[in-house]
Chains A and B, each alone.
Chain A
Amino acid sequence: MAIKLSLLNADPIHFSPIYVNTENVSTDKLLSLYRFANIFFPAMGSNLVNTMLDMEKNSERIIANCPPQERRKLIHRMKDMSVDLQFKVNHEGENVIEISIHIVPSDVLEQAQQGRNDLVQFKKLSADLDKIISKMIAKEISRRFTSKVTDRFKSFIGVNQAPSFVTQLLGMGWINPKGQLQKGASIDDLLTGKYHEQFEELMPKELLQEGMLIRETLETYFSIGQDDDESLFQDAQNRHSLLEITIRETKKMDS
């Protein structure tokens, strides 16, 4: 059975037990599908997402109409039950969007019953939802970059004088004959790891710059919420410097 990832692996106590497998979500062609869904299923597409987010954010409000006694009965009766919803869109045999939603109804009711009025928790929840969206965007940017690298590798494979580095990567099982990076091989190893010199020789400068920018962006993303003293200090220096000028110049103008 596939492992259901919780929303960003956040502390489950802050969430109702709805798990979205964000690793499987690809946003390719998403805009066209969104438009299609709005035309033909105006009551469904966005409402599904909104309902999910509402359940996460405001489950106690949604559940308010259900009397406590009935809630307790439902919790008891639905113990150990779970609901799995699979939302999948295919294009030419490949999954374009795949969202797995795993709901444990008794847990949803139990947590809603406990109430979550704590403002700090609510803010954390809101921030985590922001992160989910940004994670999906970051993943999509990364996917596009990987696709460009694959195209580049592919153009070398099968030609008479394939660069030795490409042959080496093929031999090591880092890429397959289609030029796709294999499990265990990472863009990071190529960009900044031990193979970066050979990678630099093969790839166009623009692509390398783009890769470094993506790497920096992802690093920044993953550092959020962790101790990041250096970037905090750098940011503090910039703000301090601007405020110093602001205060000094305002005083000068006043005098």
Chain B
Amino acid sequence: MAEIRRLIYVPILHAQEDPRESTSLNKIKDMAKGGGGKDATAVEAMWEGIAAKIEALNLPWESVRIYQDGAPVCGNELELAMRLANSGSPNFAFILDLIEKGARLEGTEEMDLLIKEYDLLSQLLMKNPGAERKAASVEYQAKSRELLAVRDEFIFNRITDTLNKGEVALVFMGVMHRLDKLLEKDFLVSYVIYRLPFRSVGSIYNA
């Protein structure tokens, strides 16, 4: 009988901080120890919650492969993660911390699909507020949903092909993805939290 592979699914919000106030590794580490402070932003609160919960899992880091929403298969995944962390992404700063512990970052998405998503977003963002943007939003949501399904299919195949026997997948995926529904067929999926349709989830992660 084939061994069921283990996968941990972390639904996330996309966020980027001001690069001048870039989230450092030490800051994330501090957050994980509960030192985020009362003035932490909602994004910091969310990552504080994620960091603490993942820390509590005591994963065998040498056997953990990380799959990240928006991280392309490019051959330079680590370097890209460092650049994104430097640009103010708390998500990638946290991933670097996990890599330091022994985890491995795997290229997750197809670059062409990410470019398509980028183009769709560009079209939406150039619209002026009001009726024009409202119409563009409806169009974007319809096209983006279709594209998301294709991206999820690619990511699903990527995880299936690259995760070796005995390894654990740690998947950080935006809340709009439905990848978890695909994964449930072949993997033993556990959630850092149950997948919720909240966008402001600091309080839920820390509940």
Contacts and interface: CB of A to CB of B under 8 A. Distances in A.
A binds B: yes
Contacts, number: 104
B72 A224 contact: no
Interface string A49-79: 0000000000000000000000000000000
B122 A213 contact: no
B16 A233 contact: no
Interface in A197-255: 206, 209-210, 213-214, 216-217, 220-221, 224, 227, 229, 231-233, 235-247, 249-250, 253-254
A22 to B, nearest CB: 16
Interface in A118-139: 126-127, 130-131, 133-134, 137
A25 interface: no
Contact of B16 (A131, A141, A241): A241
Contacts of A229: 133-134, 137
A236 B134 contact: no
B70 A246 contact: yes
Contact of B83 (A127, A217, A221, A245): A245
Interface string A70-102: 000000000000000000000000000000000
B115 to A, nearest CB: 6
Nearest to A237: B125
A253 B16 CA distance: 22
B125 A250 contact: no
B133 A233 contact: yes
A220 to B, nearest CB: 5
A238 B16 contact: yes
B1 interface: no
Contacts of B125: 233, 236-237, 240
A221 B39 CA distance: 24
Interface in A146-172: none
A243 B201 CA distance: 22
Given A233-B133, A242-B84, A245-B83, A137 B196 contact: yes
Contact of B199 (A137, A235, A239): A235
B150 interface: no
B89 interface: yes
Nearest to B181: A126
Interface string B30-44: 000000001000100
Interface string B126-154: 00000001100100110000000000000
B111 A250 contact: yes
Given A217-B203, A253-B76, 19 more contacts: A130-B196, A206-B38, A213-B203, A217-B200, A217-B204, A220-B198, A220-B199, A227-B134, A229-B137, A233-B137, A239-B121, A240-B121, A243-B118, A246-B80, A246-B114, A247-B114, A249-B83, A250-B80, A250-B111
Top 3 closest A-B pairs, CB basis? A240-B121, A243-B118, A238-B14
7 contacts: A137-B204, A217-B198, A220-B198, A240-B118, A242-B70, A247-B111, A254-B74
Interface of B: 13-16, 38, 42, 70-72, 74, 76, 79-80, 83-84, 87, 89, 111, 114-115, 117-118, 121-122, 124-125, 133-134, 137, 140-141, 174, 181, 194-204, 207
